[in-house]
Structure 1
């Protein structure tokens, strides 16, 4: 495994479009780091620059302490798994996995041993003689991962590898990828636009927006303490409620955030009177989408067996210690400032 460091990285295409203006990032050795953000934020371009598939306009990339900025992709000690499986349809699973080793002219006994170990790790032992057409989507993706494993790279790169799978298979493959990282104990860098994938897989998340890094941290750090309005609105499902206007101003903020599960609900009294518009019953949880004259449209998380109907009147009270205040630039206000404001409002 190896650490990855990017210093003053810039990427500008030939039409003078700059997709990454200036970026610095250090990825710890052995970490599972996820680059997440909306489409067009630059995360896949950044991954491809680490892989050597895109040139760097300015800056440097080191892998394992070695400057690889101008090094060919094949010499960077990385292995990449793409969104498309890129398997050879006429080859068996075993032949697909050992294709790169055959090109490198490794002895047959070494190739067989590596294929067998990869098949064991990925539960492919009984599929080695099958062709890709005989496999499910999840099995094909495991074959593509097996082809990367046998290279024994210092860094694994994943470019939205689960986006072609259905919801059930994505959930299963997320578990398998997390277990694989634990078994291999190797640096993994993973790109996705799905914040649920990021939260469940990563020990470190890099949130990107318009080619810039908004915040780096553990999943729960980003969830519990978003440093920008963008991160607050991007991380979490359902999204954080973001309230502007007089309510936010009362707390000394331009925008005030509160997550749906951090709002107390009553039928008798509370800070905000709301009307229920829509109710989603999801089993263990229910989500009520409500309207308030003071706070606007909001989402509230409730127990799955909560009894209510469209048109009901409820009263909401945000928990003071779970408020997220942001200034006019979308930056988080200091905790001390909000504590003083809450104290002045007699809320703490």
Structure 2
């Protein structure tokens, strides 16, 4: 295992386009850290710099206490799993997994033992003699992970490894990756644009925006207490309701956030009133998309069996202790800001 430390990292392409700017980050030994953010935020570039596949314009990277800023990828004690499986089509699963070990001239008996161990860990034991064309997408990705495991690295790097899979396979592979981390207890750094993947896999999330770190923390910490307006709008599905105008100002904020599940619904009396535009039923949950004269468009989370239809009028009351106030710069206001504003009002 190994910790990863990045100090004042900057990445500029062609001397003029800066994609990572003065970034500091500590990735703890043994953690499952997910780098998440929208397309173009710099997350894959950052991962590739850790791997040694991109040069660092300025700053330093260390892995396990060793400076690897200018080291070759092979000297960094890492193994990387890419979005594409990059398997050799003419080789069996077993040959694909042990390919790197054969290049390193590791003895056959040791190679076989490592392949068998990885196959057992990844439920590939019955597939070792198959070719990649005979495998499902999830099985191919497990082979790619097996090829990384046999290297016994200090750090695993994953670059959007599930994006080519369908929804059902992605869900299953998320569980398998989480279980794999528990069994290996090794540092893993995982890149995704999917905040649901980030929330379900990580013990620590790094939210990136335009090459800078917006917030670092445990999944529920980011969900329950976003420090910036960007994190508030990015983490959570469906997204947090973000309210501006007179209602936000009444609470002492430029923007006021409230999650869909933190709005109480009634038919008789509420703080806001809204007309249901659409109801989306998803089984255990339902989401009502509501237009309110006071606050604009809102998403409200309800029980799946709720008897609400398009056109219904709802009385809505936010849970005041769960409101998220932000200032003009998009930074979170102190926790007592909402209570103080209500007391003054």
Q: If the length of structure 2 is used for normalisation, what is the TM-score?
A: 0.99
Cα distance in 2 for partners of 1:343, 1:68 equals 55
Check the 8 A contact 1:5/1:27 in 2, yes or no: yes
Q: Deviations over 1:183-220 (max 9, x none)?
A: 00000000000000000000000000000000000000
* Residue in 1 that maps onto 2:248: 248
Instruction: Give me the whole-angstrom Cα distance separating, in 2, the residues matched to 1:342 and 1:35.
Output: 37
Q: Give CA-to-partner distance per residue, 1:90-110, whole Å, 9 cap, x none.
A: 000000000000000000000
- Cα distance, 1:32 vs. partner? 0.1
Displacement of 1:254: 0.1
Which whole-Å CA distance do the structure 2 matches of 1:57 and 1:302 have between them?
Answer: 49
| Mapped partners of 1:323, 1:295: distance in 2 | 14
Structure 2 counterpart of 1:344: 344
Aligned equivalents of 2:244 and 2:270: distance in 1? 19
Distance in 2, matches of 1:335 and 1:16, equals 40
Q: What are the ranges of 5 or more consecutive residues in structure 2 without an aligned counterpart? A: none
Q: Which residue of 1 aligns with 2:262?
A: 262
Q: Does the Cα contact within 8 Å between 2:79 and 2:148 map onto a contact in 1?
A: yes
Aligned to 2:192: 192
Aligned to 2:70: 70
Q: State the alpha-carbon separation in 2 of the partners of residues 212 and 239 from structure 1.
A: 21
Mapping for residues 110-149 of structure 1, pairs under 5 Å? 110-149=110-149
Q: CA deviation at 1:340?
A: 1.6
- Aligned equivalents of 1:113 and 1:143: distance in 2? 16
2:36 is aligned with 1:60? no
For 1:277, the equivalent position in structure 2 comes to 277
Classify the secondary structure of the residue corresponding to 2:336: helix
* Aligned residues of 1:115 and 1:150 also touching (Cα < 8 A): yes
State the shift of 1:15 in Å.
5.0
Contact 2:97-2:147 at 8 Å conserved across structures: yes
Q: Matched residues in 1 for 2:166 and 2:93: separation?
A: 22
Task: Describe the superposition over 1:49-97 as per-residue Cα deviations: whole angstroms up to 9, x where unpaired.
Answer: 0000000000000000000000000110000000000000000000000
- How far does residue 336 in structure 1 lie from its aligned partner after superposition? 2.4
Q: How does 1:92-111 map to 2 (within 5 A)?
A: 92-111=92-111
Instruction: Give the structure 1 partner of residue 318 of structure 2.
Output: 318
1: CA distance between counterparts of 2:212 and 2:221?
19
Q: Post-superposition shift, 1:309?
A: 1.0
Cα distance in 1 between the residues matched to 2:51 and 2:232: 30
Give the SS at the match of 1:314. Answer: strand
Contact persistence 2:61–2:67 (CA under 8 A) = yes
Tell me what 2:85 maps to: 85
1:41 corresponds in structure 2 to 41
Number of the residue aligned with 2:211: 211
Q: Which runs of 4+ in 1 moved over 6 A?
A: none
Q: Would you say the 8 A contact 2:241–2:258 is kept in 1?
A: yes
Cα distance, 1:234 vs structure 2: 0.2
Q: Does the 8 Å CA contact 1:289/1:297 hold for their aligned counterparts? A: yes
Structure 1 unmatched runs, 5+: none
Question: In 2, Cα distance between the equivalents of 1:14 and 1:313?
Answer: 56
Q: In angstroms, what is the RMSD of aligned CA positions?
A: 0.6
Q: Is the 1:206–1:217 Cα contact (8 Å) retained in structure 2?
A: yes
Partner of 1:235: 235
Q: Alignment partner of 1:335: what SS?
A: coil
Name the CA distance, whole Å, in 1 between partners of 2:263 and 2:216.
27
Alpha-carbon separation, structure 2, partners of 1:243 and 1:126: 55
